[in-house]
Structure formats: C-alpha cells, structure tokens
Structure 1
Amino acid sequence: MTIHKKHIQQINDELYDIFESSFDEIFVTDANGYVLVVNSECEKNYALKVEDFIGKHVKELQEMGIFYPSATLKVIESNQAIELVQKTNSGRYLHVRTRPVFTNDGHLKSVISYSRDLTDLMELKRKVEEMEEQLENYKKELNEAVDLEGIVTKSEAMKKVFSTIQRVASVNTTVLLLGETGVGKSRVAKLLHQLSTRKQHPYHELNCAALPEQLIESELFGYEGGTFTGAFREGKKGIIELSNEGTLFLDEIGELSLSAQSKLLHVLQDRTIRPVGSTRAVSIDVRIIAATNQNLEQMVEEGKFRRDLYYRLNVVPITIPPLRERKEDILPLVYQFLHHFNTVYERNVRLSPKALDAFLGQEWKGNVREVENIIERLVVTGEEMITLKDLPFAKEFAIDPPVHTLPEMIEHVEKEMVIKAFEQHRSSYKVAEQLGISQSQASRKIRKYVSDSTEH
C-alpha cells in the first residue's frame, strides 16, 4: 500500500469516526429516497440495526411505523430544507433537520437528515408542566382555606372550631382549650382576645409548667414587698392584676398545685385577688382562658385537680384536633409560615411539589408548632428551591440504593477497558482492533463511555 493510499485510508478512518461519533443521528438517502448510509445512533432511536435500514425506501419505513412523518419524502417533493419533530416506533421524539444535496448541474443527488433525540427534553417539559399544574392546584386549595385573623384552615373540623370561637369571643366567659401539644392553643387564645370587646386591653400568657411551684403563686397573684428573700422591696403585681380589663391565658393549667388551684378558684368566683404576704383584696376584671393537653376529668378522679375549679374552667370547652386528623390544613399552614418567614428573613424560598407531598405524608406529632419550626429552619438554611433531599425527614422517603448486579459489574469493567484503549490509541479503528470488536461497536462505546467520563 502506497503512502498516498495510507493517507486516504487515514482520512477515511477519521471521517468514519466523525460520522459514528456524532451525537446526532445521520440518515442519508439517494435522490429517490432509498437509504444509502446511517450512523449507529439510529439503533438507539429506532431499536433496529444499521443494516436493517440500508437499501430500504423511506416510504416503506414510514409505512412500517419506524418513524413518522418522513422528512426525506417532504424534501424530495419540495427540493427545500425542512425541520420537523418526528416520532419513532420506540416512542422517542426526534428533532429532524433535513436538507437536499444537488449535483453541479442542479439535480437532486441525495438527502441528508440530522436528528437529535428530544425525548428527555419533552419528558422534562411534561414534568415541568405537571409540577406547575400541581402547584396551581395547591394554590387553589390554599385560596379555598378560611383565614380568621391570621389563622388559616381548610378542614371542616377547624371550621367548626372557628365557628365556636366567633360565637363565644364576645361573651365574657371562661374558655378551656383542649388538645395535644403544638396544635395551636395559644394562637386560638390570642384570637379569642382579638375578637373580643377586650382587644384594646392587655393580653398576657403564663405557662404554668414553666415555673417552679414555689414561684407560681407570686407570679399569678403578685406579692407584697419584703415577703421573701430576693423579692422587690416595693412588691410586684401578679400577672392576673396586670391583665386587668383584658385577657389572661393560662397554658398547661393542669400543672398548677392544689394550693394555687384553690386561689385561682377564688379569683373566678369573687373577682378578687390577694397578693402573697398581703391582707388586702384587689378587685379585678379579667377573662381567663385556660389550656391543657392533659385529661382533666381523669385528674379530678385521681384527686390531682379540684373538681370545682374544673367546672368553673369548663364552661366552654373547645377541642383543637391534631394535625394528623386534618391533613387538608397542612398546605395552607406551610404556605402561611413560608410567606411569614420569607418576609422576616428577606428570602424567597419555595418548596417543590415532591417536598410539599412529603409534608402531606408526615404524621406531625408536634402538630402546627413542628411545621412552623421546620419551615423557619428551611427558610433560614435552605436554597431558594427546597427539594425532597433538603427536608429534615427526607430519609423517610429515601429509596435504598440498588445493589450491584452482574450486568452492572460487567458494564463497569467494559467502561474501564474502552476508556483505557481510547486514551492509548485515540482512534475507534485501533480500539476495535485491540478489543476484538467491530469499528461501529467501538464508536458507540467510545461515545457512551468516553463522553460520559469527560462530562462528569
């Protein structure tokens, strides 16, 4: 073989490498529409071998359902380049650019098509459209929610609670809020105050479980100066007196000692208080709203809570259901807290549909408070788009990674061999020769493995 022939062979090899290594499918027919040559990308697009195309007419391939419509036929009819989207027999979508090639005297010589697989893009577009539709549905659900002075709900159970609140807010009666920790009892207490005729007057809260027993009475009723070591010389008003003409919310009422319960009963009956260490009675006008997550009836039977105080407090009981029993309230709450904390921290954090679905799937043992805490954490620490992996409870939705199967291991070894051979020779012809495979197989594997490794 002469040097000239070797040079021509080298050029042909390089052209073949370019032809086979193209990310686009290249499809060439003669002027009549008979297939002359295609690259191996066709095998992926149509699930047929290269040799199945050679010599066939594009009209025959179209009638067989291999692809539709045929861009080549349209170019032969019009002698003009066109672009179209084509669907294949394997369910893939291709963006086809087809152009005519003419002889020097202007006659049609051949038709060349370049096709790029758009299936992943179209699937991505479909998913984006689904996400947008899902988000719109969530927004519609949010718009259907009832908002009462900043507390949102969509559930019938909470709408009944709202109805009761609106009826009793303006009535100067004691209210007992019942429900698990975190359901929003303090929010309801504030709402009762805001809707009442006392809204222009003080509102105070006291968590009865947060103070030691020896301090609870002085906090509630106040004390005279010099009553005990560490007391203010001039004395101090208790929270009941500070709430005069307003509302006092006593959370965890079941934690009061029997002694404090007795004095609170006296307040409810006589509308007076007696500060610790004092003999004087102070008249007060205060509305008491109490709350507990305990079973007060059982505590009464066990002698841990005064029966008469229980009856005084239990004039209007309002039970707030846990979040797991009103799942339709989760998304309105999520959006409410998201808007609030985005405003507070000057962020623009959003949740993906899958993240929202994860919120719906949680049991929320900590109820509304737990949702609020998690949203605040995500707004403070998260990216602008919160996905499933960003959620603190994401592990509950994680899928176990697949074990290495024999085909996976074989593919791993094959990849290493192809990459090593290509780095050594930089030619699909030489790679094919070293690995004992055809050149078209070598080109496909180089495109698959070498491109992947460089992209990653």
Structure 2
Amino acid sequence: MEKIIEFSADGLYVVNHEGVTLFVNTAYEEITGFKREELIGFHMGDLIKRGYLDQSVSLLVLNEKKRISILQQIGQQKKDVIATGNPVFDESGAISMVVTSVRDLTHLNELTKELTKAKTFSQLSQNRYTFSTDGSDEQIIFQSMRMKEIIHKIHQIAPFPTSVLLSGPSGAGKEVIANLIHQLSDRKDEPFIKVNCGAIPEQLLESELFGYEKGAFTGARNEGKIGLLELADKGTVLLDEIGEMPLPLQVKLLRVLQEKKIQRVGGTETKQLDIRIISATNKKLKELVLKGLFREDLYYRLQVVELSIPPLCERPEDIEILLDHFFAYFSRQYAIKKNVSEETKRILQNYHWPGNVRELRNLVESMLVSVPSFTIEPVDLPPHFTTQLDIVAPTTMKQRVEQYEKRIVQDALQKNTSIRKTANFLGVDHSTLVKKMKKWQMTKE
C-alpha cells in the first residue's frame, strides 16, 4: 500500500486520531520542500507553531468529523494548493486517521491569469481603439463614436503638412491628440516642440519663438539665441493656448506661415523654415476675431483643418473605460490593487466632469493612494461629487455604523480565500456573515 501511495502525483499526508503525523509521500515532499523526517512523529499543532504551515485541514477534520477542503499557501516557496482531508472511521464510528491529499494549483493559477489577460485583450480589440505615442505612456482610450470619427480624421490628415487647429475645453486631451498627429506623420523622427503661449510672459514670448541676434536688446546673450520655431525645423510645433498670443506677435506668426521664413529679433537675415503648426485653444477663436482680439487672416491660416475635441460629459461612453484604464495604469505604477463599487461607478458616470479627462485621471490617482480600503465606495469620493448629484450620505448613527461594517466585511473578503475563513477572521458566525452578504448583495469572487 505504501508503494502505491508513493506513486501518487498528489501529495498525501496521514495523521492519527490525535493529529500526529504518521506518513508523508514523496509528492508532498516535492510540493512543499519539506522532508518527511521533519514531519513524521510531530503533532500538527506543533508544526503550525514552527511555521511549516499556517493551518491544518487534518485538525479541522478531527474537530468537525467530516471531509473538508481548504485553499492555502504551503511550503518554502508558498505554493498555492488545495488540501482535502478525509476522515477514516473505525468499526465503533470514531476517527482512526485522517488522509489528506494536497494538489499543487500553482501552474493552474498561472494558466488562469494568462487566460484572463487574453480575454482582456480580446475585449480591448472589440470595444476600444487605442493609439500609443512613441516614447510616452500616453494613450487615447475611447469607444464613443465622436472620438472614433476624430481618430479617423487624424489618420487622414496626419501625412500632410497642413495646419491643424485643436479646439476644446481644458483637460479634454488636445495635447495627446497633437502627439498622435505628429507620430502618424512623416515628421515623427523630427523635433516636436510644444509652446504654451499663455505661460510665457508677453515680453519674452517673441524672443523665445523667433530667437534673437547678438546685442538685440539689454540682457541678451552675447552669442544670441535660436528660437523654438527654428529649432523645430523639419518637425512640428504645438502652439498651446494660441488665443493668448498678443496681436503684434500674431502678425509675425502669420508671416512665418505665409512665407515659410523666419527672422530673429534684431536680425536682418531670413531663414527658410519647414514646420507644421498645430495650435490648440479652449477659447472660441471666432468670437475673439469679432472682438478684435485675434487676427482673422491668422485664424484661417491656422484653421486649415479644425478638430473639435468634445468634453467628457458629451461622450459618457468613454468614462468607464477611461476609469478602468487609469486604475490599471496607476495600480501598476504604485503596486496597489483596488476596485470600484458599482454605486461609485454610477456616480462617476453621471458626474459632469468640468476638468474632463485630466480631472478623471487625477481623481483615480488620488483615490488609489488615499483610500485605505480595497473597495472604493461613494463615501470615499470628494464631497462635490455627491453634492452635485444630490446623493444622500449616511447621517444617522445606525447608517454610519452599517456603512463602516460593510467596508470591514468587503476588506475581509478580499483578504481571505473563502466565506468561512472570512467569518473566522472577523470573529462572527458563518451564517451571520452570509445573511449580511445577502442583505448588501455581496459576493465572494
């Protein structure tokens, strides 16, 4: 019989009616890394104290007098196993021994993870359109028809050197779209220079854009300076917040676009220039033209192709997949694993997102690092989310206690491998925990 047991692919472990180890087969030694000489003759309780295992299914079987299976990590390498203890009864009905089979689940779990990855990639292929920009972790994630039309348009115009005007609210992704246009063009290996026209003081903007010659003005470098437009020769320039550009500078930019030449401040020579201009604004340039704050001729030069990036509230189909994307991204960055409750997702889906994709990204990062529990609930959101949607937060003592109790149970379910182990961890009866889970519509995945 011992020879037959030795040939079993599963680890086998036998204890007597007192819980003392009688026999261990070779497969168990190979799975755990423990030698039978370390185990035979020792009580399971002593082996637990000495760190050989964290719990014993044999002792559970002796206590409950029935077959029991548990999931646990065992051995020197903490392998995932399923241990099933079977009681052997004598003629009087008492347990004479417990035979436990131990099956290594490590390989099976690895296959399951790979299958999950494959399913995720399949869903991405079916529902999302993702474009990564080279040398950056930025991605354009969407499934709304409006964004699909914009990406299709970008593929059409990117190969040509025409000027592109990107309009849309702050945080909607205009810079990411500009990156994509550059990467899909034949200029992708040339410079891509971004200039924020609203962030550079007016008196410095001209010299930054056009450069200057030696001694052009007080404080100028002796050797002069090359401008950003000249640096971008053969490449692309993004003029962000173009609506903030002062009128005198608009005249000079118009000349660059018309003549394809540049002249440094204080200089007399002109230099031939080959650049593509992408401009971006969160203002309505047509209104600025009517008010005399923006040149009409420059507007039409910049607006050869105009792409209007919609705010996030106008493409609600993208909210959930952006939420999932940023959660996955920051989870990898910070090695944090959390999930979002369905009620929280519903709130985020109905929020008006004045800060658009940028606000969503920042919120996800904030929640991942600042919320202590595994599951992010509505109570964890900033106050203006629930205020805007008229959601009633728990106010009575009973409601607050129940909300806190619910979060404790959710965290415990995440930490333990079964409902029964969760109940033991929380120090409550198994049936009590099951009733609460049914009441709160919880499941153990």
Q: Would the alpha carbon gap of residues 229 and 338 (structure 1) be closer, same or farther in structure 2, given more than 3 Å must change?
A: farther
What is the CA-CA distance between 1:299 and the residue it aligns to? 1.3
For residues 156 and 276 of structure 1, the distance between their equivalents in structure 2, rounded to whole angstroms, comes to 46
- Which amino acid in structure 2 is aligned with residue 371 of structure 1? L
Aligned partners of 1:146 and 1:154 also within 8 Å: yes
Deviates more, 1:241-250 or 1:230-239: 230-239
Selected match of 1:146 from 112, 129, 141: 129
Selected match of 2:313 from 324, 328, 335: 324
- Which amino acid in structure 2 is aligned with residue 263 of structure 1? K
For residues 401 and 345 of structure 1, the distance between their equivalents in structure 2, rounded to whole angstroms, comes to 31
What is the CA-CA distance between 1:356 and the residue it aligns to? 1.9
For residues 311 and 187 of structure 2, the distance between their equivalents in structure 1, rounded to whole angstroms, comes to 29
Selected match of 2:330 from 338, 341, 349: 341
For residues 375 and 330 of structure 2, the distance between their equivalents in structure 1, rounded to whole angstroms, comes to 15
Equivalent residue for 2:375? Answer: 385
1:217-266 Cα deviation digits (max 9, x unpaired): 11111112332333322122111111111110001111111111011111
For residues 329 and 397 of structure 2, the distance between their equivalents in structure 1, rounded to whole angstroms, comes to 46
For residues 352 and 342 of structure 1, the distance between their equivalents in structure 2, rounded to whole angstroms, comes to 16
1:24-79 Cα deviation digits (max 9, x unpaired): xxxxxxxxxxxxxxxxxxxxxxxxxxxxxxxxxxxxxxxxxxxxxxxxxxxxxxxx
For residues 337 and 231 of structure 2, the distance between their equivalents in structure 1, rounded to whole angstroms, comes to 40
For residues 148 and 259 of structure 2, the distance between their equivalents in structure 1, rounded to whole angstroms, comes to 35
Selected match of 1:219 from 208, 230, 240: 208
For residues 351 and 233 of structure 1, the distance between their equivalents in structure 2, rounded to whole angstroms, comes to 58
What is the CA-CA distance between 1:341 and the residue it aligns to? 2.0
Q: Is 2:162 the counterpart of 1:173?
A: yes
- Which amino acid in structure 2 is aligned with residue 267 of structure 1? V
Q: Is 2:322 the counterpart of 1:310?
A: no
What is the CA-CA distance between 1:278 and the residue it aligns to? 1.2
What is the CA-CA distance between 1:378 and the residue it aligns to? 1.9
Equivalent residue for 1:239? Answer: 228
What is the CA-CA distance between 1:283 and the residue it aligns to? 1.5
Equivalent residue for 1:161? Answer: 150
Aligned partners of 1:349 and 1:382 also within 8 Å: no
Higher relative contact order (CA 8 A, sep 6+): 1
SS class of match (1:146) = coil
Give matches, 1:28-427, under 5 Å. Answer: 144-149=127-132, 150-383=139-372, 384-393=374-383, 394-396=385-387, 398-401=391-394
Q: Identify unmatched segments of 5+ residues in structure 2.
A: 1-65, 67-118, 133-138, 400-445
What is the CA-CA distance between 1:305 and the residue it aligns to? 0.8
SS class of match (1:153) = coil
SS class of match (1:309) = helix
- Which amino acid in structure 1 is aligned with residue 378 of structure 2? L
SS class of match (1:363) = coil
How does the TM-score come out when normalised to structure 2?
0.57
For residues 223 and 376 of structure 2, the distance between their equivalents in structure 1, rounded to whole angstroms, comes to 54
What is the CA-CA distance between 1:211 and the residue it aligns to? 1.2
For residues 359 and 127 of structure 2, the distance between their equivalents in structure 1, rounded to whole angstroms, comes to 23
- Greater Rg by CA: 1
What is the CA-CA distance between 1:395 and the residue it aligns to? 3.8
Equivalent residue for 1:105? Answer: none
For residues 324 and 251 of structure 2, the distance between their equivalents in structure 1, rounded to whole angstroms, comes to 44
- Which amino acid in structure 1 is aligned with residue 204 of structure 2? L
What is the CA-CA distance between 1:314 and the residue it aligns to? 0.9
For residues 216 and 270 of structure 1, the distance between their equivalents in structure 2, rounded to whole angstroms, comes to 21
SS class of match (2:293) = coil
For residues 345 and 400 of structure 1, the distance between their equivalents in structure 2, rounded to whole angstroms, comes to 30
1:115-149 Cα deviation digits (max 9, x unpaired): xxxxxxxxxxxxxxxxxxxxx99x95895121123
Q: Would the alpha carbon gap of residues 297 and 392 (structure 1) be closer, same or farther in structure 2, given more than 3 Å must change?
A: same
For residues 221 and 366 of structure 2, the distance between their equivalents in structure 1, rounded to whole angstroms, comes to 40
SS class of match (2:141) = strand
For residues 385 and 403 of structure 1, the distance between their equivalents in structure 2, rounded to whole angstroms, comes to 22
SS class of match (2:287) = helix
For residues 397 and 227 of structure 2, the distance between their equivalents in structure 1, rounded to whole angstroms, comes to 69
SS class of match (2:189) = coil
Q: Identify unmatched segments of 5+ residues in structure 1.
A: 1-81, 83-135, 409-456
Equivalent residue for 1:447? Answer: none
1:324-355 Cα deviation digits (max 9, x unpaired): 01000111211222222223333333322222
- Structure 1 vs Structure 2 CA RMSD: 2.8
Q: Would the alpha carbon gap of residues 224 and 346 (structure 1) be closer, same or farther in structure 2, given more than 3 Å must change?
A: farther
SS class of match (1:193) = helix
- Which amino acid in structure 1 is aligned with residue 377 of structure 2? T
Aligned partners of 2:197 and 2:239 also within 8 Å: yes
- Which amino acid in structure 1 is aligned with residue 207 of structure 2? S
- Which amino acid in structure 2 is aligned with residue 386 of structure 1? I
How does the TM-score come out when normalised to structure 1?
0.56
